Structure 1
Amino acid sequence: MADSCLTGFAEEIDDLAKEYESMKELHKKYKDKLEEVQSMQKKCATLVGHQKKRYKQIAEGIKEKSPGLSGEEKAKCNELKTLVEDRKKNCIEVLDTLPRSNNFLLSTTLGPVSVSILSKKDRFAYKEEYERFKLYLSIIMLVGATINTFFIKNRICDACYHFLLVWFYCTLVIRESILRHNGSRIKGWWVVHHYLTVMLTAILLIWPDSVSYRMFRNQFMLFSLYLSVVQLIQYYYQSGCLYRLRALGEKSDMYITVEGFQNWMWRGLTFLLPFLFVAYTWQLYNAYSLYHIAKHPECNEWMVPVASVIFLCLFLGNMITTSGVILTKFKAMQSTSSSPKNKGS
């Protein structure tokens, strides 16, 4: 019986021999192609670097010579400027399909491993997974904040919730760095915002169970609860905006939702802004409350004034950035409506 089983296994192995040899041959071809692709990527990167350097020099030379040119020469100069700008844009498009070295944050957290996503399909899939991650964690944080606000008032449960916040924002910073590395347009204040939030949540995690903590605890839990609700509303609103704009071909697939108001979210403005401004005002109120708690005779923790300053920075950054976007968009709409073309139509 055992001999027949072994004979059967041997026959199966023999049957697989041809397929096994084909697999080895295909794998060898794959490794050769992979080495060839890596070699071509390095060559392309070198050529693009040389092209960008030369076009920069040419553009500077054209700029120096252009003031003293005649009419025909000036027209030729403008043509050359346009050609140089087009070539520079093409170089950037080529760079987008090549692996790039990691920035400082990615190098320190992930090391030299490449996080470049070369396929547009894979980039979009990673962005979609990032959006789902934010949605699921927002729901979990909403549940956690509700439990801590109304049902359980225990420092250990609070610490677990604060740890969740620290982990969420740290993960968000790394994921957004990977997205930005691969062409997402999030930048400026919203990047700084997450670094400040990581610092704030870490402070809340290590804050001892003192008089000052208990004075601020309920206010923060209510704030977290409201912020989780706003994040869910914001996710569905922003996702709807992006879906419509992408369907119309007006926005890139690598645009992502952020904790604030952006140019592409102008449609349905009155729906989202009140929620955002209430959250920003609450951040100011948190800063004000912590400032007064810091003056309490039983408050000896350094976390109180530092958290107050961070909340104030978050309020100012959010308010200034969002107001700036609204003002810029409003001016653009006014200039469009007052243009001669619109007046004549």
Structure 2
Amino acid sequence: MEESETRRIEEEVRRAVEQAKELQDSASSLVAKASGEEQSMRQRASALDSTIRRLRSSIDSQLAHKLLDPKLADKLEEDLQKARCVIADGDASAFLPSRAQVGFLRMFLGPIDVRASKKDVQLKVKEEYNSYRDRTALLFLLFPLALLILRSWLWHGCLPAFPVQLYQAWLLFLYTGLTLRENILRVNGSDIRPWWIYHHYCAMIMALVSLTWEIKGQPNCAQKQRGVQLFLQWAMMQGIAMLLQNRYQRQRLYTRIALGKAKRMDVVWGETAGVDGQLWLLCPVLFIMQGFEAYVGLLLLRTAFAGVASEWQVVFCGFLLVLMAVGNFVNTVQTLMVKSRFKAKMKKSKSRQELN
């Protein structure tokens, strides 16, 4: 009885080993076949992507030399954009040439390919990015608001060092997380404007430097902490602007996706976020925030050069705030000009159709 049981177990083990070998052979054959088909798809996708780029360049060249009717050029450009969105928003996007991974990602993650092979995974990355922005926008508003309220009610007008440094550490975590997610989105085909990533690089550096900034108290606490107080007030305005952006921008993006003007992986920023009524509300908030950001930076530089707070961190943070304010203003104006030209072209095209 025991011998028969032993033989049965030995036979089952032998069959399991044979099945494992057969499974490995089948998997190897399938992977080899899939690799060959994948390489073929990559070549086709790369060839089509190059063709679309070449056709766009040819249209621009013909239009510049007045060899092509502007109305026809607009139609051809629109068709090419729709074709690009079709392959970028479908399963074929996994076979498109990927953008080079930037040094920032390699520094944190090493030489790992972060490009998702499936479209649903790519969209999950974008959904997580939007969720992260929604969560941090509320904290961006509430964290400095709590510090300013406690400053008046509990700390007698003088901020202690620890809560301010805790907020600065949170800012470093926030901007590092945003930058990592945005670089991963770009690798996966999202059309995020480079300036916003550079802006977050500057914000990361500023948060890191501000952690070493000694928060001085009495005497003359109000004068010494004037820059910190204004920075917290600006951060509250930033939180309000982020909430408005997150609320409005997706409405505009969904419309552009439906028209074939954008891809589902794209990210639309505040100044392109909404329709005209929304922009009337959002643009003044953005410009006021940018002006206040520059004012806080200039105030920090003035306090440093006046000898009130002469630490190098004050000069560095003041310079970065001015730089970011100027960059944000230029980028916002450029985006609004592009939007205005696009609307003018659409009106012109519509009037032509009505005349015909």
TM-score interval, smaller chain = 0.7 to 0.9
CA distance in 1 between counterparts of 2:243 and 2:47 reads: 47
Superposed displacement of residue 280, structure 1: 0.8
Aligned to 1:104: 103
Does 204-213 or 168-177 show the bigger shift? 204-213
Is the Cα contact below 8 Å between 2:129 and 2:181 reproduced in 1? Answer: yes
The one-letter code of the counterpart of 1:108 is M
Task: Flag the 1:20–1:282 CA change in 2: closer, same or farther, 3 A.
Answer: farther
The C-alpha deviation readout for 1:197-234, integer Å capped at 9, x for no partner, is: 11122222221123786231111111111211211121
> What corresponds to 2:173 in structure 1?
167
Pick one of 184, 187, 190 that aligns with 1:181. 187
The corresponding residue for 2:122 is 123
Q: Aligned residue for 1:210?
A: 216
243 and 89 in structure 1: CA distance in 2 versus 1, 3 angstrom threshold: closer
- Structure 1, unmatched stretches of 5+, are 1-17, 61-81
Encode CA deviations 1:161-195: one digit per residue, 9 max, x unaligned.
Answer: 11111111111111111100011000232221111
Once the 2 structures are TM-superposed, how far is the Cα of residue 344 of structure 1 from its aligned partner? 2.6
Q: Deviations over 1:94-114 (max 9, x none)?
A: 674268463322222211221
1:225-272 Cα distance to aligned partner (Å, 9 max, x none): 1211211121011122223433455432112243x423x645432121
Structure 2 CA distance, aligned partners of 1:228 and 1:23? 57
Which amino acid counterpart does residue 122 of structure 2 have in structure 1?
Answer: R
Deviations 1:95-139 (A, max 9, x none): 742684633222222112211112122111210111001111222
5 Å matches for 1:274-293?
Answer: 274-293=284-303
Task: Give the alignment of 1:269-308 within 5 angstroms.
Answer: 269-308=279-318
Relative to structure 1, is the Cα distance of residues 168 and 292 closer, same or farther in structure 2, using a 3 angstrom cutoff? same
Read off the aligned partner of 1:167 and give its amino acid letter: F
Kept after mapping to 2: 8 A contact 1:45/1:95? no
SS of corresponding position for 2:310: coil
Which region of structure 1 is more displaced relative to structure 2, 115-124 or 44-53? Answer: 44-53
- Is 1:220 matched with 2:231? yes
Q: Which amino acid in the other structure matches residue 135 of structure 1?
A: D
Equivalent position of 1:241 in the other structure: 252
Q: Which amino acid aligns with 1:318?
A: N
Give 3-state SS (helix, strand or coil) of 2:330's partner: helix
Q: Hey, what does 1:321 align to over in structure 2? A: 331
Q: TM-score, normalization: structure 2?
A: 0.71
Aligned to 1:7: none
Matches within 5 A, 1:35-74: 36-38=33-35, 40-41=37-38
Q: 2:45·2:96 contact (CA, 8 Å) conserved in 1?
A: no
List per-residue Cα deviations over 1:32-65 (Å, max 9, x = no partner): 54465456545665787799899999xx9xxxxx
In terms of mean alpha carbon deviation, does 192-201 or 103-112 score higher?
103-112
Stretches of structure 2 lacking an aligned partner (at least 5 in a row): 1-14, 58-75, 152-158, 218-222
Q: After TM superposition, list the pairs within 5 Å mapping 1:245-264 onto structure 2.
A: 245-258=256-269, 260-262=270-272
Contact 1:145–1:224, Cα closer than 8 Å, also in 2 = yes
**Contact 1:131/1:256 (<8 A) preserved:** no
CA distance in 1, matches of 2:300, 2:37: 57
Counterpart residue number, 1:198: 204
Q: Is the 8 A contact 1:235 1:257 kept in 2?
A: no
RMSD of aligned Cα (Å): 4.3
Equivalent pair of 1:290/1:308 in contact (CA under 8 Å):
yes
**Any idea what SS the aligned residue of 2:307 has?**
coil
Task: Give the TM-score, by structure 1 length.
Answer: 0.73
| Matched residue count | 312
The residue that corresponds to 1:77 in the other structure is: none
**Matching residue of 1:132:** 131
**1:272 and 1:30 mapped to 2: Cα distance?**
55
**8 A Cα contact 1:184 1:256, kept in partner:** yes
Over 3 Å counting, the alpha-carbon distance change for 1:136 and 1:95 in structure 2 is: closer
